[in-house]
Amino acid sequence: MAGKLYIVPTPVGNLDDMTPRAIEVLKGVDTVLAEDTRTSGVLLKHFGIATPMRSHHKFNEHEAVTAVVEQLQGGAVMALISDAGTPGISDPGFLLSRECRRQGIEVETLPGATAFVPALVNSGLPCDRFIFEGFLPQKKGRASRLEELKTQSLTMVFYESPVRLLKTLQQFADVFGGDREASVVREISKLHNTTHNGTLSELVDYFTATAPRGEIVIVVAGCPPATSVKVDKYAEFKQKKAKV
């Protein structure tokens, strides 16, 4: 009988965001697949979880999937976690989840922490519909992707590192326009969590003077609809009548 894979979100900052069910699952599985066993070791120790861990990250994910699936097919029950947030969202997890589905292995993803949702809601920008871009390509394909997003009407969400934040904001201002509204949220749920709202030009000025630190989410307003000129039919009628 095939086993089961749990995909378990972990806190993006505050350890109190860990759910009781996530703790219960991690204690009950045979193995925890962790993005970084050292980072996850601190988390597991904090919650008294003694389950054996195995490394599963972006550098070994392609090679590791086959062996993990074989163990699951043999009846093993495993949990996949990342360093923070929900696996598969800009973190390893998609390849394993897809292969499990292909092989008929049950996959269950627990609800829980992810960085972009609180950043999006906290930004004050429309969040009923949005597009999640995650990390943009660092070099190849970056400029063309930004051009594609230039006319995107939905709110856009990006992940970025502090060392590239200023350059990214400058690129956004160049492509989207400096007057486009945006929000930069950093260190979500941590002690120094901050949100800075303003136009892209204002955010460039701010982060030029203030070096950013910590994990960062950028939320950018979608392209506004083209301004249409409303014709006053009555005024047009009077103007034509005056010419007669």
Give the pairing of strands 155-160 and 53-55.
Answer: unpaired
pLDDT at 242 over 80: no
Q: Is residue 15 part of a domain?
A: yes
Answer yes or no: do 82 and 124 share one domain. Answer: no
93-149 pLDDT, tens digit each: 999 999 999 999 999 999 999 999 999 999 999 999 999 999 999 888 999 999 999
Answer yes or no: do 102 and 8 share one domain. Answer: yes
Q: Is residue 244 part of a domain?
A: no
Confidence of residue 36 (pLDDT cuts 50, 70, 90): very high
Answer yes or no: do 87 and 184 share one domain. Answer: no
Answer yes or no: do 80 and 105 share one domain. Answer: yes
Asked which of 23-32, 170-179, 228-237 is least confident by mean pLDDT, the reply is 228-237
Per DSSP, the residues of the chain read ---EEEE--B-SS-GGG--HHHHHHHHHSSEEEES-HHHHHHHHHHTT----EEE--TTTHHHHHHHHHHHHHTT-EEEEE-SSB-TTSSSTTHHHHHHHHHTT-EEEEPP---SHHHHHHHHTS--SSEEEEESPPSSTTHHHHHHHHTT--SEEEEEE-TTTHHHHHHHHHHHH-TT-EEEEEESTTSTT-EEEEEEHHHHHHHHHHS---S-EEEEEPPPPPPP-PPP-HHHHHHHHHHH-
pLDDT score of 2: 80
CB 22 within 8 A of CB 49: no
Answer yes or no: do 103 and 171 share one domain. Answer: no
Q: Is residue 228 part of a domain?
A: no
Answer yes or no: do 153 and 201 share one domain. Answer: yes
Answer yes or no: do 99 and 194 share one domain. Answer: no
pTM: 0.85
Answer yes or no: do 139 and 213 share one domain. Answer: yes
Q: Is residue 243 part of a domain?
A: no
Answer yes or no: do 149 and 203 share one domain. Answer: yes
pLDDT at 51 over 80: yes
Confidence of residue 92 (pLDDT cuts 50, 70, 90): confident
Answer yes or no: do 120 and 46 share one domain. Answer: no
pLDDT score of 228: 39
178-199 pLDDT, tens digit each: 999 999 999 999 888 999 999 9
* Domain end (from 74, 109, 144): 109
What's the CATH number where 131 sits? 3.30.950.10
Q: Is residue 231 part of a domain?
A: no
Burial category of 12 from C-beta neighbours within 10 Å (exposed 0-12, middle 13-18, buried 19 and up): buried
Q: Is residue 152 part of a domain?
A: yes
What's the CATH number where 84 sits? 3.40.1010.10
Domain assignment of residue 23, given as a range: 4-109
165-178 average pLDDT score? 97
53-65 pLDDT, tens digit each: 999 988 888 888 9
Q: Is residue 236 part of a domain?
A: no
Answer yes or no: do 80 and 154 share one domain. Answer: no
Q: What is the tally of structural domains in the chain? A: 2
